[in-house]
Structure formats: C-alpha cells, structure tokens
C-alpha cells in the first residue's frame, strides 16, 4: 500500500513538474520544444543616445612654421622644434548609435589645465566610433575631425587650426545604459603648426533609452 501511495503521489506531481520553468530562465519566452528560456541580452548601441566624458593627458611634438615672438620654451636657440607635455583635457562626445556597433558623435575637448603661455585648449568637431562586436567587452576604433579654436596656441600666427584625431581602445558595458572605456589617442594638426600628440584617455559613457 505504501508503494502504491508513493506512486500515486508521483503521478499527481508529474504535470506540475513538467510545466515548471528551468532555473535561470524568465517567464514569457518559449523555445520550439515548448521550454521556457531566458531572453538573449544585446549589448549593441543601436538607436541609443550616448554621452561620453573622459580625461586625456599625453605628450606632444611640434614643428612651428613661424613664431609671434616673445620668450617661451620653444624659443631656446631659435629652435623650430618643440616637445612638451600636453595639458590635461576634458574629452566629451554626444553620440547616437546608427547600428549595433557604430556611433556618430559630436566631439568637444576643453583643456582642464592651461598651456605654458596661458592659453587653454578648445576643440570641437564631428567623429565616428566603431565597436568591434556586440559583446560587453569590445575593441573600439574612433576617428574625428576637429577645429582648434585655442587662442595664442604655441604663439603661432593663426588663431584656428584643423585637427585629425584617431583613437583605439577597449569599451566595457556594465549595463545596457552605462559603460566605461580606455583609449590611446593620436592627434595631428597642420595649419598653425605641424603637430603630433599622443595621449591616454579614461572615461565613462551613459546611454538612453534602454
């Protein structure tokens, strides 16, 4: 009798067990075999607006075409070649994900620290940012065209310069709306002087909607 009672109890519980969800799944998603499965989370940035904020600092090499005169570190022995630490810069980007792995951005860079001559870097322009995969951790490549409006920059004759900036690094999404990144950047300028700068950037990115 005891064996029959246990068998009857197992038969009664069978429908409930068959309809139970596997561990780690969410309700509302059903596979082709009729089993509930957890939805796949996409880490792509399509149709999301994003704001990036980072800090950059590096080193710059400059060949000056001409000089306004005056005493500055580049004037030693009338040297046209100048090497110096690039000031700490606030690097921001307001972008939109046109696909899972491509963002178009408006870029703005402002010097947190001033140059040796008292001028403060001020740059604005447009760029694109490509993310290699749709995983949480991915390789990033970015390129931007920037106008440099820093007055008195390196005491050159022109008040405006044109810059090309490239970046390579890693991006990690903590959630669908927040991530952080590390990047190595290179900046070239041509009009005011011939200049090459290399810097490192650490920053965060917030995105909406979910």
* 49-208 CATH fold: Porin (2.40.160)
More confident residue, 41 or 98: 98
Residue 49, both tokens = 């607006």
Helix (H) or strand (E) segment spanning residue 167: strand 161-173
Give alpha helix (H) positions in 42-85. Answer: none
Q: What is the pTM of this model?
A: 0.76
Helix (H) or strand (E) segment spanning residue 16: helix 2-19
Start-end ranges of CATH 2.40.160.20 in the chain? 49-208
DSSP 40: P
d(CA 10, CA 14): 6
Residue 154 confidence (pLDDT) above 70: no
More confident residue, 13 or 62: 62
Residue 101, both tokens = 């792995």
Residue 78 confidence (pLDDT) above 80: no
Q: Count other C-beta atoms under 10 Å from residue 159's C-beta.
A: 12
Q: Are 80 and 64 in contact (CB under 8 A)?
A: yes
Which pLDDT does position 94 carry in this prediction? 98
């Amino acid at each position: 009798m005891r064996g029959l009672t246990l068998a009857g109890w197992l038969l009664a519980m069978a429908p409930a067990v068959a309809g139970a969800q596997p561990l780690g799944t969410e309700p509302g998603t059903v596979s082709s075999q009729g089993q509930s499965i957890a939805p796949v989370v996409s880490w792509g940035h399509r149709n999301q607006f994003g704001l990036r904020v980072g800090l950059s600092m590096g080193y710059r090499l400059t060949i000056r075409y001409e000089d306004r005169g005056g005493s500055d570190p580049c004037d030693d022995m009338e040297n046209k070649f100048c090497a110096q630490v690039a000031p700490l810069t606030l690097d921001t980007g307001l972008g939109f994900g046109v696909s899972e792995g491509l963002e178009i951005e408006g870029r703005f860079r402002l010097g947190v620290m001033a140059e040796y001559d008292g001028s403060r870097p001020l740059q604005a322009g447009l760029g694109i940012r490509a993310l290699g995969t749709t995983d949480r951790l991915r390789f990033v490549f970015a390129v931007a065209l920037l106008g440099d409006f820093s007055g008195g920059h390196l005491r050159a004759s022109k008040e405006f310069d044109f810059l090309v900036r490239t970046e390579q690094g890693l991006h990690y999404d903590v959630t669908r709306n927040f991530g952080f990144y590390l990047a190595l950047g290179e900046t070239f300028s041509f009009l005011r002087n011939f200049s090459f700068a290399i810097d490192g950037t650490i920053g965060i990115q917030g995105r909406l909607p979910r």
